Amino acid sequence: MKKAEIESEMEDELRPEYDLRGLRVRKVGPGRKGFGDLVVRLEPDVAEAFPDAAAVNEALRFLIRITKENTPLPH
């Protein structure tokens, strides 16, 4: 098959309503988010209280610990 025939055949495989131009390429590498990372967006007023992600994690771990300590055990 000629190159032009192959290209036209490939163009016809997708339906016109499938517009893939808006898709972004996900780059994985050093310094980028990995597939296992979870991102939680904080409201601006909450984010002001924390200097960085480590401080947020520390506060959440503290909250988890005191919640578990103060929760009565079921009988």
pLDDT in tens, 37-63: 678 899 999 999 999 999 999 999 999
> What's the half-sphere exposure (Cβ side, CA atoms, 13 Å) at 64?
6
Best CA proximity match to 35, nearest among 45, 48, 46, 26: 26
The contacts of residue 56 (CB under 8 Å, 6+ apart) are: 42, 50
Is the model's pTM score more than 0.85?
no
What residue segments make up the domains of the chain, in order of their start?
Answer: 34-75
Distance of CA 24 to the CA centre of its chain: 13
pLDDT in tens, 6-35: 666 555 677 777 777 777 776 666 666 666
pLDDT of residue 24: 76
**Cβ(42)–Cβ(51) below 8 Å:** no
